[in-house]
């Protein structure tokens, strides 16, 4: 049933010659410098000793970086180039005449639109599955959260009376499909934003008209000879990002909840210690819950479980990675093996029978890593075929059969494991996740009032959304964990998604016990509600949950989001999706601190626009601060100012 993509990578093509130069002290030092994840440190030492290449090695090999590329002033957009801006050599314009401002702005919009496209195409895939489910064409899927389906139908104007759930789901899906084009020229869910925030968008001319439309228009604008005004290009970036946050990502979240259930608070475990020596281990990596939800079902199939036992395994152990992992953790409490920079290390434990990938944030090098062990990389999405992986064509229509065949392949691979090479050097850490907006409201007793009162009284100073990735330029997890610890110490509640949340989980911050690290006010609130000081709100598309939460709080106070004592941060971001997320946070009125400098420093005008002048348009701006303690200071100061403005 599977097809090998490209050529099988038969042997472990590691560069032993280069690696053997490393002495044990260097190995220890390097792993210590690369991560604060204790388990990752030990597995990294193994990869360094054995010459198994990882993302950190490749990052080292790519340095020093090209100055022009890192400043954003190289352009490879058309065939008259490539061009670079080198004023000292009198090269102030590219061949077409574009100056540094324009080249930087076009590059940034390109990046943002790529990220918005990734989120939104994911959203469309989920809508399609919901539609096929409503028509009885996606066997194995069901409408799980009927209450949410009905509520959303009513919210977006779908008539529900006299209709069964399938019909309502079909109509909701139909309406959401329209939001991708420009049938309506507006996005239904963006009316969730407070009116004051929407008024700012109207005044700035950045109201998103259609999810795809804004992305396509971005691509049009960056074509040579179209957009030639850096500010106008970047303003459209905000509109595109809003189409992602209040459109594509929000639709992905809501339809996933309808299909697979709205998350509620649950307890689970995290780090590479969740991999079990005694079991067939399968890691689920990527972003879309469509496949992974089905893998969960297939792994419980008595026939497959029987096969695993026959092969000598105690059972089948599913573990998550990155955002597919977050989706499963949030809804099903499936243990989480790690975040972005853990993906190769999970394979290097030698105990993984298969890593199943869907799309986004998957290193193309994974089959090379896997070739050093018995692990099979199984790709499943037509958009994301990876050379050296085993490809199973996965569609909603054939979901269960495909999922079963995939799990069977993993089980059959168990006998190929070399027990002498299994290395799982840590115990898992406990965490709580599942903090959807609905779950937070429930934890607060059914209303946001206690949270608003706690903020008004100063018991909680405010809230920060810490989101985004890992990046080998930043010590793995250091940015996330240091920032979160500093903020909670200062009575700032943290809500997190994506790889940031996984980092906090590994560091033990996602348990109610972590309240002892919080300031006395936040500690008191956490203790009385039994919640952690850092709340895991889901995957990266679930940053839309943070928007909904902000909108609820702002509406309760009858202000725009920009008036709230809140901030955003992406301490270790790397991806194009993170550019889009950061931009829709700012465009929604949230001051946002980045821990990695975007490739914009070649244009002082663009830097000034994004970190200063944009404030005059959306009442929020970006800041860049690589030191997480200094970033915390910026956030604390910002929250204090917002409190003063509110008179609290
Ligand atoms: O979407 S946080 S590294 S896994 S891009 Fe990727 Fe970044 Fe992780 Fe999830 Ni989000």
Chain segment 319-328, per-residue pLDDT in tens: 999 999 999 9
Ligand 1 centroid to Cα of residue 528, in Å, is: 33
Rounded Cα distance between 59 and 347, Å, is 19
Residue nearest to atom 6 of ligand 1 (CA): 361
3-state secondary structure 276-328: CCCCEEEEEEECCHHHHHHHHHHHCCHHHHHHHHHCCCCCEEEEEEHHHHHHH
Average pLDDT, the chain: 96
Position 10 pLDDT exceeds 70? no
Residue nearest to atom 10 of ligand 1 (CA): 540
pLDDT tens digits along 182-217: 778 889 999 999 999 999 999 999 999 999 999 999
Position 18 pLDDT exceeds 60? no
Position 450 pLDDT exceeds 60? yes
Atom of ligand 1 nearest to the CA of 468: 2
Position 367 pLDDT exceeds 70? yes
Ligand 1 centroid to Cα of residue 384, in Å, is: 16
C-beta of residue 483 within 8 angstroms of C-beta of residue 628: yes
Dihedral sign, Cα of residue 247, residue 252, residue 257, residue 259: positive
Mapped onto helix, strand or coil, the DSSP state of residue 9 is: coil
Mean pLDDT lowest among 50-59, 98-107, 336-345: 50-59
Ligand 1 centroid to Cα of residue 467, in Å, is: 9
pLDDT above 90 coverage of the chain, percent: 93
Work out the pLDDT band at 342, boundaries 50, 70, 90: very high
Whether domain 100-260 has CATH 1.20.1270.30: the reply is yes
Work out the pLDDT band at 17, boundaries 50, 70, 90: low
CA 50 distance to own-chain centroid: 31
Ligand 1 centroid to Cα of residue 468, in Å, is: 6
Q: Which of 326, 361, 502, 570 to mutate to test the pocket of ligand 1 (most atoms within 8 A of CB)?
A: 361
Rounded Cα distance between 318 and 335, Å, is 7
Ligand 1 centroid to Cα of residue 637, in Å, is: 28
Mapped onto helix, strand or coil, the DSSP state of residue 232 is: helix
- DSSP notation for 173-230: HHHHHHHHTTSSSS-GGGGGS-HHHHHHHHHHT-----HHHHHHHHHHHTSTTS---H
Mean pLDDT lowest among 20-24, 192-196, 249-253: 20-24
Q: What is the pLDDT of residue 185?
A: 84
More confident of the two residues 92 and 6: 92
Q: What is the pLDDT of residue 1?
A: 63
Q: Is the CB of residue 498 below 6 angstroms from any atom belonging to ligand 1?
A: yes
Mean of the pLDDT values across residues 559-564? 98
Domains of the chain, by residue range, sit at 100-260, 272-421, 438-646
pLDDT above 70 coverage of the chain, percent: 98
Question: 227 phi and psi, to 5 degrees?
Answer: -65, 130
Domain 272-421 shares a fold with domain 438-646: yes
Rounded Cα distance between 321 and 470, Å, is 13
pLDDT tens digits along 368-397: 999 999 999 999 999 999 999 999 998 888
415, 481, 483, 476: which is closest to 623 by C-alpha? 483
Q: What is the pLDDT of residue 75?
A: 98
First to last CA, the chain: 63
Which pTM was predicted?
Answer: 0.97
pLDDT tens digits along 83-101: 999 998 989 999 999 999 9
Q: Tell me the fold of 272-421.
A: Rossmann fold (3.40.50)
Q: Tell me the fold of 438-646.
A: Rossmann fold (3.40.50)
Position 258 pLDDT exceeds 90? yes
Position 11 pLDDT exceeds 70? no
3-state secondary structure 338-380: ECHHHHHHHHCCCCCCEEEECCCCCCCCHHHHHCCCCCEEEEC
pLDDT tens digits along 99-118: 999 999 999 999 999 999 99
Q: Is the CB of residue 323 below 6 angstroms from any atom belonging to ligand 1?
A: yes
């Amino acid at each position: 049933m599977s097809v090998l993509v490209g050529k099988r990578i038969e042997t472990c093509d590691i560069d032993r010659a280069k690696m053997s130069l490393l002495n044990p002290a260097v190995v220890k030092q390097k792993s210590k410098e690369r991560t604060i994840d204790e388990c990752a440190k030990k597995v990294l030492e193994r990869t360094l000793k054995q010459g198994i290449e990882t993302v950190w090695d490749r990052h080292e090999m790519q340095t020093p970086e090209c100055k022009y590329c890192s400043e954003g002033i190289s352009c490879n957009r058309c065939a008259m180039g490539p061009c670079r801006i080198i004023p000292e050599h009198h090269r102030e314009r590219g061949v077409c005449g574009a100056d540094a401002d324009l080249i930087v702005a076009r590059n940034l919009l390109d990046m943002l639109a790529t990220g918005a496209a990734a989120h939104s195409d994911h959203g469309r895939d989920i809508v399609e599955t919901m539609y096929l489910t409503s028509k009885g064409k996606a066997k194995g899927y069901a409408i799980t959260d009927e209450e949410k389906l009905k509520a959303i139908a009513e919210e977006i104007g779908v008539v529900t009376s006299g209709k069964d759930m399938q019909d309502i789901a079909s109509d909701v899906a139909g309406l959401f499909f329209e939001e991708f084009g420009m049938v309506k020229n507006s996005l239904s869910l963006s009316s969730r934003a407070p009116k004051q925030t929407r008024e700012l968008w109207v005044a700035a001319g950045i109201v998103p008209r259609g999810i795809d439309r804004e992305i396509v228009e971005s691509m049009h604008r960056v074509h040579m000879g179209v957009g030639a005004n850096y500010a106008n290009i970047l303003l459209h970036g905000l509109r595109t990002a809003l189409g992602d946050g209040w459109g594509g990502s929000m639709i992905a979240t809501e339809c996933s909840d309808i299909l697979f259930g709205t998350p509620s608070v649950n307890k689970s475990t995290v780090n590479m210690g969740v991999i079990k020596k005694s079991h067939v281990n399968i890691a689920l990596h990527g972003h879309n819950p469509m496949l992974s939800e089905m893998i969960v079902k297939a792994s419980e199939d008595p026939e497959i479980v029987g096969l695993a036992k026959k092969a000598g395994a105690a059972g089948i152990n599913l573990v998550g990675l990155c955002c597919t992992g977050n989706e499963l953790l949030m809804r099903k409490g499936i243990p989480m093996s790690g975040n972005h920079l853990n993906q190769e290390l999970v394979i290097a434990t030698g105990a993984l029978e298969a890593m199943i990938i869907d799309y986004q944030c998957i290193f193309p090098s994974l089959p090379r890593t896997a070739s050093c062990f018995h692990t099979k990389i199984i790709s499943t999405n037509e958009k994301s075929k990876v050379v050296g992986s085993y490809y199973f064509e996965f569609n909603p229509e054939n979901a269960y059969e495909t999922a079963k065949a995939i799990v069977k392949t993993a089980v059959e691979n168990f006998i190929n494991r070399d027990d002498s090479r299994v290395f799982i050097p840590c115990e898992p850490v406990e965490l709580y996740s599942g903090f959807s907006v609905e779950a937070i409201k429930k934890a607060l007793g059914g209303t946001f009032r206690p949270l608003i009162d706690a903020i008004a009284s100063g018991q909680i100073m405010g809230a920060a959304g810490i989101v985004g990735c890992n990046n080998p330029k930043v010590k793995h997890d250091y940015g996330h964990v240091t920032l979160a610890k500093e903020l909670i110490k200062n009575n700032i509640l943290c809500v997190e998604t994506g790889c940031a949340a996984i980092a906090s989980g590994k560091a033990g911050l996602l348990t109610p016990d972590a309240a002892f690290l919080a300031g006395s006010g936040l500690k008191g609130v956490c203790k009385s509600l039994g919640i952690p000081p850092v709340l895991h709100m889901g995957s990266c598309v679930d940053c839309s949950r943070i928007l909904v939460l902000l909108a609820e709080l702002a509406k309760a106070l009858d202000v725009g989001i920009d008036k709230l004592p809140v901030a955003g941060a992406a301490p270790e971001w790397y991806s194009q999706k993170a550019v889009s997320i950061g931009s829709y946070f700012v465009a929604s009125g949230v001051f946002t601190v980045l821990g990695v400098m975007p490739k914009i420093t070649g244009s002082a005008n663009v830097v000034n626009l994004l970190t200063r002048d944009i404030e005059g348009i959306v009442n929020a701006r970006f800041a860049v601060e690589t030191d997480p303690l200094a970033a915390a200071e910026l956030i604390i100061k910002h929250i204090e100012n917002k409190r003063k403005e509110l008179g609290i």
